[in-house]
Amino acid sequence: MTDVPVSIPGSPSAADYAADGDRPLIPDVSEPFELLDTWLKEANASEPNDSTAMSLATVDADGLPDVRIVLLRGLSAADGFQFYTNYDSAKGTQLAAHPKAALCFHWKSLRRQVRVRGTIEKTASHQSDTYFQQRAPQSRIAAIASDQSRPLDNREAFNQRVAEISSIYGDDDDIPRPEHWGGYRLIPTEIEFWQDQAFRMHDRLKLVRDGKGWRRTRLYP
């Protein structure tokens, strides 16, 4: 086996940190959603693409962790963090068996991170219907055609299925949502804000749900 050289940059120097200057600390908020909305807006202006991308961590039947990137499609104090997928996919199967999960946002351009843990529920059918109709017709057809996470013999088989379903609907924009596709919402029990600071003296603020409110704690970096 041949060793493959990996280019890993070194740690920032004192000069690097000095050039960046000091950053304001994370404010001592009493609830997380207003600050999270602010950070998402800043990420949308700063990130090159997909500022709502987040890692979704689940566990499988053997207790092994699994993680993938999904897109945040709704956020509120009442409905939590919403995303959409195939209910029969690997993550859908895992969430059905273990309805708890973790999320992680990472915005490299801002050097910020938000970690979230909580419980999972399916969104209401009408919410899934509404979002599905907002997708491009081709994306809706792909969702119908895909046996997500299952083995695929070859790409042509998938393309053929997409073509067959496309021929059924033609130019009709009224493509119904399949039962196997819809939304989830993660109701957070804790949210942690992380921000890079000079010399690894990072700033961390954790909020844990406490009854109807939130308990705030600062953490060592």
pLDDT tens-place string over residues 133-167:
999 999 999 999 998 888 888 999 889 999 999 99
Amino acid, single-letter form, for residue 218: R
For the chain, the C-alpha Rg in angstroms (whole number) is: 21
Distance CA 98, CA 59 (A): 7
**Contact between residue 72 and residue 55 where contact means Cβ atoms under 8 Å apart:** no
**Contact between residue 57 and residue 65 where contact means Cβ atoms under 8 Å apart:** yes
Of 193, 195, 202, 197, whose CA–CA distance to 22 is shortest?
197
Q: What tokens does 85 get? A: 């997928």
What is the chain's length?
221
Distance CA 79, CA 42 (A): 22
Q: What is the pLDDT of residue 4?
A: 65
Q: What is the pLDDT of residue 172?
A: 78
DSSP 202: -
Domains in the chain (CATH in brackets) are 23-126+180-219 (2.30.110.10)
Amino acid, single-letter form, for residue 173: D
Number of Cα atoms under 13 Å in the Cβ half of residue 220: 0
Q: What is the pLDDT of residue 5?
A: 67
Q: What is the percent of the chain with per-residue pLDDT over 70, rounded to a whole number? A: 98
Q: For residue 108, count other CB atoms closer than 10 A to its CB.
A: 12
Stretches in the chain below the pLDDT threshold 70:
1-2, 4-5
Q: What is the pLDDT of residue 57?
A: 98
